[in-house]
Amino acid sequence: MGKTKLTIKGEDFYINDKLTYSEFEKINPKALGLLMNARFIQGIYNEKLDPSRFNRYGREFNPDTNTKEFISELPNWYNSGLRAFTIGIQGGGPCFTFHNDNLFNQPYINNGTEIEKEYLDRLDLVLKAADDLGMVAIVSLFYPGQAIRFKTDEEITNSVKTACKYLKESGYKNLIVEICNEYDLCKTQPLLGTGEGMSSLIKLAQSILPDTPIGSSQYGGIVNREVSIASDVILIHGNGQSRGHYYNMIKKAREFSPGKPVVCNEDSQAIGNMVVSIKEHVSWGYYNNMTKQEPPVDWTITRGEDQFFVKRLGIELGLIESTEQETYLQGLEENMTYEGMRWIRLASLYPEKIDFVEFYYDGKLYETVYDEPFMVHFEQNWKQGPVLNTNPALWSVKIIEK
C-alpha cells in the first residue's frame, strides 16, 4: 500500500516524483506530465435486480470474476502507455442495451453512512493492483443513472463523506476523486446537478482528502466556471464533440481556472480527439461502450478499436514507430450479438486518412458514414444504433480515402 504517489505541479502530473512518461527517452514532449486514461467504470460492477440478464456474449456475469479479470489485464494496458483509469463505485450504464431505470447498482446504504462490504472489497483489490503497477485510479463516486436512488441531500452528503473517509483510511496516494460522472444529468437533485451544489460537495471532499485531487465532470462539451474554480483537477468529457468543439472546451476550461491540469476522462473511440488532447497538453480518456461498458466486460485489448487505440497512443506518445494504415470491420464477431442486435463499425488506426465509408449488406449499399468513428447508424462519436437480425458474413465495406 502506498507504493505509488500522485502529485500535481501546475498542469503536470508526477508519479513518485517523476514527470509522467519521463522514463521514455524519445517521448513526445507534449505528452510529458499527462495521464492518458481509459473509462473502465465497470471494474467493480454488480447488478442486484437480475444479474442473469448479463449472461450473454457467450459468457456468464459474476461481479467477483469481473473484477479479477479486470485486474489481470491492467498490466497489458499499462505496458501500452495507459497511466490511469476511471472506476465507478456506482458503475456506469450499459447504454446500448439497457436503460438505467431498469438496473440497480447502489452500494451506498443506511442513509449513505455505509458502503456495502462486497463493493469495498472489490474496490480495494483494484486500488491495490493500480498501486502495485504505478497507475492512477480516478474513483467516481456517483453515476446519474444510480444517483437517482438518493432520496435526500443528507444521503448524498453522507455518501460523499463515507466514500472519502474510506479512501483516506485506505492509505492509497495514487487517486483522483470524481464526485459525479456528468453531474449535470442529475437534474432532479440540485445538490448534485448544479454548479453551486457540486462545488460544495467538492469542497466537502477536499476537507476530508486534502492531498487527493478532486473534481467532477459534466456532459460532453460542457464545463462550468464555478466547478472548475473549486476543483483541483478540471475533469471534462469529449462525448459528441468534433475536434473543433473539443478544442474550444479545453480553452474554456483553462480560461475558467488557469494553471490546473485538465483531464478528459471520457470521450469515445474517436482517435482524432486524442490527437487534439496531446497537442494541447490535456490528458485523454478512451471510452468504448461496446467493448468496455457492456457486462460481461471483456477487459482484454480486443481486436479492432481497443487495439488501434493503444497502437495509436504509442505512436502519438512517441513510444513506437508509425505503422501502415489498418482497418477492421467490428461488431461481426461470433458472440457480439444481443437479442439479434449488432453494433457494426469500421475501426481504423488512421481515421483522419478516410473521407467516408460505404457499408454494404449482401452486395447492396446499406449506409454511408462520413464521421469518425465510422459506425453504422451513427448518432454521436461514442454512440450508435443497432442493426437487427442480419447475417455477419454478408457485410462488407468500401473505404474512400482523402
DSSP notation for 32-92: TT---EEE-TTTT---SS-GGGG--TTS---HHHHHHHHHHHHHHHHHTT--EEEEESS--
Q: Which set of grid coordinates corresponds to residue 178?
A: 470524481
Strand-pair partners of 388: 341
- Distance between terminal CA atoms of the chain? 51
Q: pLDDT tens string for the chain (402 positions)?
A: 689 999 999 999 999 999 999 999 899 999 999 999 999 999 999 999 999 999 999 999 999 999 999 999 999 999 999 999 999 999 999 999 998 888 999 999 999 999 999 999 999 999 999 999 999 999 999 999 999 999 999 999 999 999 999 999 999 999 999 999 999 999 999 999 999 999 999 999 999 999 999 999 999 999 999 999 999 999 999 999 999 999 999 999 999 999 999 999 999 999 999 999 999 999 999 999 999 999 999 999 999 999 999 999 999 999 998 888 899 999 999 999 999 999 999 999 999 999 999 999 999 999 999 999 999 999 999 999 999 999 999 999 999 999
pLDDT of 167-198, one tens digit each? 999 999 999 999 999 999 999 999 999 999 99
pLDDT of 355-386, one tens digit each? 999 999 999 999 999 999 999 999 999 999 99
Cβ count near 229 (within 10 Å): 14
CATH 3.20.20.80 describes domain 6-317: yes
> Which residue spans of the chain are classified as CATH 3.20.20.80?
6-317
By DSSP bridging, strand 108-109 and strand 114-115 are antiparallel
From CA 41, how far away is CA 39, in angstroms rounded? 5
CA dihedral in degrees (359, 364, 366, 372; nearest 10)? 20
pTM of the model: 0.98
Helix-helix angle 271-279:243-256, to 10 degrees = 40
From CA 36, how far away is CA 287, in angstroms rounded? 12
What H or E segment, with its residue span, contains residue 329?
strand 327-330
